[in-house]
């Protein structure tokens, strides 16, 4: 190797070193920029709402960005209140949330909360973009979510979330979110279920909501009737914000939705008693048709009044069932009708009338078969065909079942999903066919919480019924459905 070569080699190394250093610098710049960019993205998309308590936002280790969580028990089974706070001065929040024992409910609540946080951050980011040098920046941002809990008939719970979002302003945007569920089963219940899915009921409810809003003197002159009419159109998804409080349905509107902001959150209250006939059976419990029940429904221990469940099998019958319905109305009596499936299509108007007058409908098989003499699949078929025929006629499935002849065995009972109802007093009306024999048969074995078996296909039963109603009323009995009797047993 000569000197020139060495010189050349040395120069080559210098160039190599310089370019390596330069490349490194470039790499560092790229890396740092990328990292900053990444940071920036993280900041904007950061969600300090990771669900674990006390999670620290990794980008801003400042104490103000710490999310704190506090969980409190309530005196309602399985219901806990979660208070979550973020003190970050640019996007502070105070969020009250609920935890239940049911995952689907928790998921719905968590989605609402996390959507609310995203909405809040998006509005802040948008404002920052539009007015980057606004002097009030970061001063008056706030997200506040609070929740109110209301219970109904022990097992139903309403959660009413009120959300206030204020961005650089003293004025806040207030909206409502509600959730109604069965705290024993975890089922989320919508208005459609409460009203048996009946659009006619929804239409009349929508009219009641409108007129009660318009009649409220506090809202006078503030209501925008056009908006009110629009948001109360009888569509199920327009009636999602509701609760049940004090035996009434309460509907909520957002601030500014149907009125000017001065009246805040418009609400309206519809007593369940006023829509008693439209309610699904489980929501009729403890509610009196047409009048408001202010005391809680009596329980087994506190109930002092005597009760009896009159039951009528083998109908519907076009004339006898109708006569019985009129007599029951006369004595303000509710009863239970176990109907035979293959009669429903012919006499569906009688069945509808029975249901609409507030009586309970039970399944009594398709063609009055002795279930202990047929296969399990045939038993299932007897039940489902009748269930479907009832549903088709009245829009709701039966709530109880009674086997023809009272014939059942373990095999039969194991495939029946409805409560299987027998009786405690058999009037043998089908055997005697004698009107004057009905009352003596009842008197002979009468007791509190009796379930009396009769048939609404015999004229003699309709003829003898008034003497029974009169006697039992004088004895202080209240006439209730079978399902109601079961609650007191
Ligand atoms: Zn029968």
- Measure 279 CA to ligand 1 centroid, in angstroms: 28
What is the pLDDT, as a whole number, of residue 54? 42
Q: Determine contact, residues 161/177, Cβ cutoff 8 Å.
A: yes
pTM: 0.49
What is the pLDDT, as a whole number, of residue 36? 40
Neighbours of ion ligand 1 (CB under 5 A): 313-314, 404
What is the pLDDT, as a whole number, of residue 100? 95
What is the pLDDT, as a whole number, of residue 45? 32
pLDDT digits (tens, 9 = 90+) for 371-384: 999 999 999 999 99
Is 455 known to be catalytic?
Answer: yes
* Neighbour order of strands in the sheet with 93-99: 67-73, 80-86, 93-99, 142-152, 156-166, 173-182
Is 314 known to be catalytic?
Answer: no
What is the pLDDT, as a whole number, of residue 10? 52
* CB neighbours of residue 42 within 10 Å: 14
- Measure 368 CA to ligand 1 centroid, in angstroms: 6
- Measure 207 CA to ligand 1 centroid, in angstroms: 42
- Quick one: tokens of 206? 């929508």
Collect the ranges in the chain with pLDDT lower than 50: 1-9, 27-60, 291-303
Q: For the chain, give every domain's residue range.
A: 34-62, 66-189, 196-289, 306-488
**Dist. CA 489–CA 261, nearest whole Å:** 52
**Dist. CA 340–CA 386, nearest whole Å:** 7
- Measure 404 CA to ligand 1 centroid, in angstroms: 4
* Greatest CA separation for the chain: 139
What is the pLDDT, as a whole number, of residue 89? 79
- Given CATH 3.20.20.370, say whether it is the number of domain 306-488: yes
**Dist. CA 174–CA 267, nearest whole Å:** 13
The active-site residue, picked from 88, 152, 313, 314, is: 313
Q: 448, 474, 452: which is closest to 305 by C-alpha? A: 448
- Measure 41 CA to ligand 1 centroid, in angstroms: 72
- Given CATH 3.30.565.40, say whether it is the number of domain 66-189: yes
What is the pLDDT, as a whole number, of residue 19? 60
Q: Which residue has the tokens 């500014």?
A: 256
What is the pLDDT, as a whole number, of residue 221? 80
CATH entry, 196-289, from 3.90.640, 3.40.50, 2.60.40, 2.40.50 = 3.90.640
- Measure 340 CA to ligand 1 centroid, in angstroms: 8
What is the pLDDT, as a whole number, of residue 283? 93
- Measure 383 CA to ligand 1 centroid, in angstroms: 14
pLDDT digits (tens, 9 = 90+) for 407-421: 999 999 999 999 999
The active-site residue, picked from 152, 455, 456, 458, is: 455
Q: Determine contact, residues 183/157, Cβ cutoff 8 Å.
A: yes
- Measure 374 CA to ligand 1 centroid, in angstroms: 17
What is the pLDDT, as a whole number, of residue 261? 79
What is the pLDDT, as a whole number, of residue 15? 55
């Amino acid at each position: 190797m000569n000197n020139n070569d060495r010189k050349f080699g040395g120069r080559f190394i210098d160039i190599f070193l310089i370019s390596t250093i330069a490349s490194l610098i470039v790499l560092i710049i790229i890396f740092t920029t990328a990292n900053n960019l990444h940071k920036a993205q993280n900041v904007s998309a950061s969600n300090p709402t990771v669900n674990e308590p006390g999670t620290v936002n990794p980008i801003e280790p400042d104490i103000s960005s710490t999310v704190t969580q506090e969980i409190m028990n309530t005196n309602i089974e399985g219901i806990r209140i979660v208070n979550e706070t973020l003190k970050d001065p640019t996007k502070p929040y105070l969020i009250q949330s609920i935890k239940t024992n049911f995952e689907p409910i928790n998921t719905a609540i968590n989605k609402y909360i996390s959507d609310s946080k995203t909405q809040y951050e998006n509005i802040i980011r948008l404002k920052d973009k539009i007015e980057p040098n606004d002097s009030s920046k970061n001063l008056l941002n706030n997200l506040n979510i609070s929740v109110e809990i209301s219970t109904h008939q022990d097992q139903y719970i309403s959660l009413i979330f009120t959300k206030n979002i204020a961005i650089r302003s003293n004025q806040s945007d207030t909206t409502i979110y509600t959730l109604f569920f069965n705290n024993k089963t975890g089922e989320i219940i919508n208005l459609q279920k409460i009203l048996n899915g009946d659009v006619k009921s929804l239409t009349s409810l929508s009219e009641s909501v409108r007129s009660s809003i318009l009649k409220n003197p506090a809202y006078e002159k503030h209501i925008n009737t056009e908006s009110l009419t629009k948001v109360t159109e009888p569509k199920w998804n327009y009636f999602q914000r509701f609760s049940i409080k004090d035996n009434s349905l309460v509907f909520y509107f957002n601030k500014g939705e149907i009125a000017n902001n001065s009246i805040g959150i418009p609400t309206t209250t519809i007593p369940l008693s006023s829509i008693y006939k439209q309610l699904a059976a489980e929501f009729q419990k403890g509610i009196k048709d047409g009048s408001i029940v202010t005391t809680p429904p009596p329980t087994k221990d506190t109930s002092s009044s005597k009760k009896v469940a009159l039951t009528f099998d083998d109908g519907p019958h076009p004339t006898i069932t109708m006569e019985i319905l009129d007599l029951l109305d006369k004595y303000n009596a509710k009863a239970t009708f176990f109907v035979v499936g293959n009669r429903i299509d012919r006499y569906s108007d009688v069945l509808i009338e029975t249901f609409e007058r507030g009586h309970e409908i039970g399944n009594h098989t398709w063609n009055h078969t002795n279930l202990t003499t047929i296969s399990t699949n045939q038993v299932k078929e007897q039940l489902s065909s009748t269930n479907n025929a009832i549903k088709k006629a009245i829009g709701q499935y039966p709530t109880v079942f009674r086997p023809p002849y009272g014939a059942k065995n373990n095999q039969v009972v194991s495939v029946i999903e409805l409560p299987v109802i027998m009786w405690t007093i058999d009037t043998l009306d089908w055997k005697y066919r004698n009107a004057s024999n009905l009352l003596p048969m009842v008197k002979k074995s009468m007791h509190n919480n009796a379930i009396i078996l009769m048939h609404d296909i015999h004229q003699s039963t309709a003829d003898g019924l008034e003497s029974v109603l009169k006697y039992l009323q004088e004895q202080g009995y209240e006439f209730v459905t079978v399902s109601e009797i079961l609650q007191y047993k």
